C-alpha cells in the first residue's frame, strides 16, 4: 500500500466529487488533543434504514455514556437512514449518470483528526448486519487507500435484534472483521459486562431503552470506547 497516496486519489477512491474538507492522518492530532486536554470526538453511526428507531435510540445511550466519561469528549450521532450508499462503488465502478451517492460527505466527518472513536450500530438482519451497514463498510476501502486514515481510531459495535439472542454477537463480530481491515483499535463493552460489544433486544412492545441488560452493555461500550480513545490520544498512537 502506497504511503504517499495523494488527496486527489483519496477523493477518487471515495467517489468524492462532492467532498469538502481535509482528510488527514489521525495520529499527530490525537496526540495533540490528548496532551493539551483538547476535546476528542466519538461518532456513532446508525446503520438502520429506519431513522430514529431502536438502533439510533441505543446509540444515543451509548454516546451519552461516552460523553459522561470525560469532559474532553464530545459526541455525534450520524444516521445513514435515507442516505444512498452503494457498496458496489467500492470496487471502483463509476457513478451512473444521475446516481446519488452520500458516502463522500461522510468521509471528512469520519477521518477528521478530532474523531478518536467510532461506534457502529446496526440492526440484526437474518443473523448479520444490514445491507446498508455492509455497503457503508465496503466503502471504507477509501480510508484504507488513504494511508489507512482510520488507523488507531478506537471502534466499538452495537447490535439490536428483535430477539434476546437473535444473532447480535455474530453480527458484532462481522462488523468487527471489517473494522480490523482498517487498523482500528477494536474494543468491546467494558466492565462489568465486559464482552464483545453492546447487545440490545427490541422486544417490539416497550421502548428499547427499557432493555436493562442491553442498555448496560450500550453504556459500558460507550464508556470503554471513550476510555481507550483518551488513552490513545494521550500516547499519540
Ligand atoms: C429483514 C429483517 C431481518 C431481521 N432479522 C433478525 C434476526 O435475524 N434476528 C433478530 O433478532 N432480529 C431480526 N430482525 C429484527 C430487527 O433486528 C429489529 O427489529 C431491530 O430492532 C430493528 O432496528 P431499527 O429499529 O433500528 O430499525 C430483522 C428485521 C428485518 C426487517
Task: Encode pLDDT of 11-70 as tens digits.
Answer: 555 654 333 233 333 344 444 454 556 799 999 999 999 999 999 999 999 999 999 999
d(Cα 190, Cα 165) in Å, to the nearest integer? 20
Residue of the nearest CA to atom 23 in ligand 1?
123
Residues of the chain with pLDDT under 50: 1-6, 10, 16-32, 34
Mutate which of 80, 133, 166 for ligand 1 pocket (most atoms within 8 A of beta carbon): 166
How many angstroms from the chain centroid is the CA of residue 8?
Answer: 24
CA atoms within 13 A of residue 105's CA, in its CB half-sphere:
10
| Strand partners for 155 | 118, 186
In 3D space, the residue among 182, 200, 191 whose CA is nearest the CA of residue 228 turns out to be: 191
Q: Is 125 near ligand 1, meaning CB less than 6 Å away?
A: yes
- Determine how many CB atoms are found less than 10 A away from the CB of residue 164: 13
Residue of the nearest CA to atom 28 in ligand 1?
125
User: 453511526: which residue's cell?
Assistant: 45
User: 482510520: which residue's cell?
Assistant: 150
Residue of the nearest CA to atom 22 in ligand 1?
123
User: Cis omega (within 30 of 0) on the bond before 127?
Assistant: no
Per domain, the residue ranges of the chain are 7-11+22-83+102-235
- Please tell me the CATH superfamily of domain 7-11+22-83+102-235, with its number: Flavodoxin domain (3.40.50.360)
Number of H helices, E strands in the chain: 8, 6
Residue of the nearest CA to atom 15 in ligand 1?
162
State residue 78's pLDDT score.
98
Amino acid at each position: 500500500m502506497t504511503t504517499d497516496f495523494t488527496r486527489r486519489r483519496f477523493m477518487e477512491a471515495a467517489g468524492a466529487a462532492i467532498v469538502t474538507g481535509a482528510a488527514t492522518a489521525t495520529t499527530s492530532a490525537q496526540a495533540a488533543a490528548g496532551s493539551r486536554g483538547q476535546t476528542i470526538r466519538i461518532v456513532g453511526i446508525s446503520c438502520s434504514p429506519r431513522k430514529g428507531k431502536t438502533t439510533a435510540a441505543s446509540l444515543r445511550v451509548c454516546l451519552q455514556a461516552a460523553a459522561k466519561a470525560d469532559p474532553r469528549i464530545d459526541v455525534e450521532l450520524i444516521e445513514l437512514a435515507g442516505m444512498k450508499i452503494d457498496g458496489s462503488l467500492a470496487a471502483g465502478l463509476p457513478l451512473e449518470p444521475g446516481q446519488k451517492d452520500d458516502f463522500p460527505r461522510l468521509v471528512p466527518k469520519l477521518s477528521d483528526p478530532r474523531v478518536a472513536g467510532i461506534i457502529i450500530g446496526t440492526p440484526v438482519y437474518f443473523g448479520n448486519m444490514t445491507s446498508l451497514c455492509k455497503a457503508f463498510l465496503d466503502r471504507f476501502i477509501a480510508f484504507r487507500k488513504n494511508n489507512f486514515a482510520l488507523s488507531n481510531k478506537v471502534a466499538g459495535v452495537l447490535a439490536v435484534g428483535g430477539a434476546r439472542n437473535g444473532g447480535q454477537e455474530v453480527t458484532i463480530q462481522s462488523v468487527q472483521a471489517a473494522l480490523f481491515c482498517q487498523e482500528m483499535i477494536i474494543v468491546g463493552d467494558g466492565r462489568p459486562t465486559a464482552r464483545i460489544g453492546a447487545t440490545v433486544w427490541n422486544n417490539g412492545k416497550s421502548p428499547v431503552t427499557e432493555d436493562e441488560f442491553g442498555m448496560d452493555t450500550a453504556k459500558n461500550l460507550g464508556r470503554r470506547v471513550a476510555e481507550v480513545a483518551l488513552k490513545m490520544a494521550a500516547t499519540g498512537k
